[in-house]
A = this chain, B = another copy of it.
Amino acid sequence: MDVRACQRQAIMIDRQTVAAAAKRIAGYVRHTPVLRCDLGSDSPVTLKLELLQHAGSFKPRGAFNRMLNASLPPSGVIAASGGNHGAAVAYAARSLGATAEIFVPATTPAAKVARIASYGARVIQGGETYAEALIASRARQAETGALEVHAYDHEDVLAGQGTVGREFEQDAPDLTHILVATGGGGLIGGIAAWYAGGAEVISVEPEGCPTLHNALQAGQPVSAPVGGIAADSLGARQVGVLMFPVAQRFVSQAVLVTDEAIRAAQRLLWEDFRLIAEPGGVVAAAALLSGRFVPPPGARVGVVVCGANTDPAKIAG
C-alpha cells in the first residue's frame, strides 16, 4: 500500500474532535431531546429528535463547527446543498453576521429554497444533482474567495455532526444499536466516529440512493444512482472520502429501504407521535418499521430522526 493510499485510509475524527466540536457549537445549536417508545419492534426504541434542531435538520451542527473554526472572509460563506445543508449554512451565517451564497440543484423542493432564502442567503438553483451544484459553487468560490462549507466531506463538518452521537450517548447511554440515515455520510461518519464501536452503528439508505451500501461493497467510495423520494436530502452521488474509513471500521451494516417504507414511516410518525419528518429524516425509522433491520434479542435500539423540511400537508393530508 503506497503512502497516498495510507493517507486516504486515515481516520481524521475521533471522540476528542467531536467533543471539541460540541464545546465550540454549544450555545448555537439545540441539545435535541430523546423519546423512549415502542416503534414496530419488540425491542425498546429511543428516538433522537434531531428534526427539532434549528433550520429543521442536524446540519447546523457541522455548519457552525466549520464556520466557528475558520476565519470568515468578507465575502462570507458558500455552499452547495440538496437543501438542508444550505438552510443550515444560511441560518449559521445569519447568526454569525456573515453573508451566504447557496447553490442547489433543480431537485431541491420549493419549500427548502424558500427556507434558505428566509435566512437571508442568496440562492442559486441549477443543474440536475447536488454534484452539479457543487461544481457550480466551486467555480463561484474561486471568484469570491468565500469560505466553502462542504455538506459532508470536511473534518469540521463531520465532527460537528458527530455531536448528535455524543448527545445521544449522554441521554441514552444504554443503547446497543444506532440507526442513522446516510447520504454523503457526514452524519453517520460523525456518529460512528463518536461511538467508535461502543454501540453498533447501522447505515440506512433508500434503495434509490445506495451510496454507502455500494461503497462498502466496492471497498471505496463509488458513484451510485441518485433517485427516489429522499434524493433531495440523501442524494450525494458518493460518500465522502473522509467518512469512508470511519464507516469501514465502525459501521456494521448498510441497510436499504424502499420509498414505500419511507412514506409509511412518515405517516406513522405523524399518526403515533405527531411528528412531521421529511423522507430523508425517517429512513432510519423505516428500516426498523419495515423489518429490513431486525434487532437481535436484548438489543436497545436508537433511531436518529434527522430532518423535517417538508410540506406537512403531504404527510398528514
Residues of A in contact with B (beta carbons under 8 Å apart): 30-37, 49, 51-52, 54, 56, 270, 272-276, 308-309, 311-313, 315-317
Contacts and interface: CB of A to CB of B under 8 A. Distances in A.
Of A31, A272, A274, most B-chain CB atoms within 10 Å: A274
A50 to B, nearest CB: 10
B32 A35 contact: yes
B308 A317 contact: no
Nearest to A56: B274
B276 A276 contact: yes
Number of copies: 2
B34 A33 contact: yes
Given A30-B36, A33-B34, A274-B276, 17 more contacts: A30-B35, A30-B37, A32-B35, A33-B35, A33-B49, A51-B274, A52-B274, A54-B272, A56-B274, A270-B312, A274-B308, A311-B316, A311-B317, A312-B312, A312-B313, A312-B315, A312-B317
Nearest to A309: B274
Contacts of A309: 274
A309 B49 CA distance: 19
Contacts of A311: 316-317
Contacts of A308: 274
Contacts of A276: 274, 276, 312, 316
A275 B308 CA distance: 9
Contacts of A49: 33
A272 B52 CA distance: 8
Nearest to A32: B35
Nearest to A53: B274
22 contacts: A30-B35, A30-B37, A33-B34, A33-B49, A35-B52, A51-B274, A52-B273, A52-B274, A52-B275, A54-B272, A56-B274, A270-B312, A274-B308, A274-B309, A276-B276, A276-B316, A311-B317, A312-B312, A312-B315, A312-B317, A313-B313, A313-B317
- Which 6 pairs across A and B sit closest by C-beta, in order of nearness? A33-B33, A312-B312, A274-B308, A313-B313, A312-B316, A56-B274
